[in-house]
Structure 1
Amino acid sequence: MKQPDLPSLDVPRETEAQLRAYLRLLLAWNARINLIAAVPEEEAWHRHILDSWQMLPLLPPGPLADIGSGGGLPGLVIAIGREEETHLVESDRRKCAFLMEAARTLGLNHVRVHPSRIEAARLPKIQVLTARALAPLNDLLGHAARILAPGGVAVFLKGRNAEAELTAAAPRWLMRTERFQSRTDAQATILRLSEIRPAGV
């Protein structure tokens, strides 16, 4: 059973201006390197920006790492909405160039970009881990167990297979699981996971 709905997707006016600036930059770079599927701006606003923005109220305080950041979804959207230390991990150098330019242009001085595979990224103690449309839950939990500090929380946006992925992960992982219905996709679920540890430990 899913948790009650997330808060509304209302975005403060000043924040919306910055998110719109990010989206325009994302679409401009998308013409040169593949960051997102080519869609009209308003569709991209709903499908990508608001989809990422809805994760914000589920995030506890503390340093955050977004893995497989790609074009900055959800990492840069989250960084626009909170001022805490944010680490974007991405192995594609061209995408990292975009992330660095976007962070500079938007004045996000609390963002650090790591051009690295997730397994090799040198990160400080991380309290919050995020990912969107990156990998099966089993793989994400392996990263979470390695990256998160004690008491840390992972927040993953998953599609229609969320329950099947939880079932597949159950023999290998123990965790506290909270489910939230996505406000932008009726078939998507946001998982907030804590107390993550390998089964049998």
Structure 2
Amino acid sequence: MTTTRDLAGLDLSPVTLERLDALDSLVRRWTEKINLISPATVPDLWTRHILDSAQLWPLSPVGAKAWADLGAGGGFPGLVIAILATEAGSPKVTLIESDGRKCAFLRTAVRELGLSALILDQRVETAPPQAADVVSARALAPLATLLPFVARHLAPGGTALLPKGRDHAAELDAARTAGWRFEVEAVPSRTDPAARILRLTGLAHG
């Protein structure tokens, strides 16, 4: 059962754990029909996707009211964050995704899991700016390409939480070379020793 699984040290209610298990089942079923996640990761879905997403939650600033997940895809981390936010009572979670089939899955998941998340079926570069306290994006683009989208949707003083792989240091260098300024904390991932979650604050360009 879920209660025996590692979930980033979070103390969660039985209802939240049931929702995460239901998300696991939904993703497995839909991945048989559309490419929500890589089929190679399905056997290890809990660690590779659910835990990998849940570990962002404790890194979010206290009092955050709005969270935007860019390129939400199969719902990671956005749906996991929305599940955790339901128990906490905030923040409001918005998932932005341009693939219509994936949006259909996201809306189904929100409905079946009893979440209040908003799904925007739009491209991140044209969606209305969200002024979110937290912006996340997982496997969407290299950092230098990603940061203009993050800046579009991030509120002044907000925090970006961006999971990155073994090339995170090179991506940081490339972003700085492209004129981006920020404070960064590279938090070790609980699911991949070579990966980091980049916690960016003070994001600015030029």
> What is the TM-score when the length of structure 1 is the normalising length?
0.90
1:73 matched residue in structure 2? 76
Distance 1:8 1:124, change over 3 A: closer
CA distance in structure 1 between the partners assigned to 2:38 and 2:71 by the alignment: 16
Runs of 4+ in 1 over 2 A off after TM superposition: 7-13, 39-42
1:125 matched residue in structure 2? 131
Of residues 90-99 and 138-147 in structure 1, the stretch that sits farther from structure 2 once superposed is: 138-147
Select 1:94's aligned residue among 101, 110, 114. Answer: 101
Task: Report the alpha carbon displacement of residue 13 of structure 1 after superposing the two structures with TM.
Answer: 4.8
Distance 1:100 1:117, change over 3 A: same
1:195 matched residue in structure 2? 202
Residues 9, 50 of structure 1: 8 Å contact kept: no
The one of the two structures with greater contact order (alpha-carbon pairs below 8 A, sep at least 6) is 1
SS of equivalent residue, structure 2 residue 184: strand
Distance 1:168 1:44, change over 3 A: same
Select 1:116's aligned residue among 95, 103, 122. Answer: 122
- Deviation per CA, 1:18-75: give whole Å up to 9, x if none: 1010110011011100001224765111111001111110012120100010010000
- RMSD of the TM alignment (CA)? 1.6
CA distance in structure 2 between the partners assigned to 1:155 and 1:8 by the alignment: 15
Of residues 123-132 and 134-143 in structure 1, the stretch that sits farther from structure 2 once superposed is: 123-132
1:39-188 equivalence runs, <5 A: 39=40, 43-60=44-61, 61-82=64-85, 83-109=90-116, 111-171=117-177, 172-188=179-195
CA distance in structure 2 between the partners assigned to 1:40 and 1:149 by the alignment: 34
SS of equivalent residue, structure 2 residue 104: helix
Give, as a single letter, the amino acid of the residue that structure 2 aligns with 1:79.
A
> What is the TM-score when the length of structure 2 is the normalising length?
0.88
Task: Report the alpha carbon displacement of residue 125 of structure 1 after superposing the two structures with TM.
Answer: 2.2
Identity %: 46
Structure 2: state its 5+ residue gaps.
Answer: 1-6
Structure 1: state its 5+ residue gaps.
Answer: 1-6
Aligned residues: 192
- Whether 1:12 aligns to 2:12 is yes
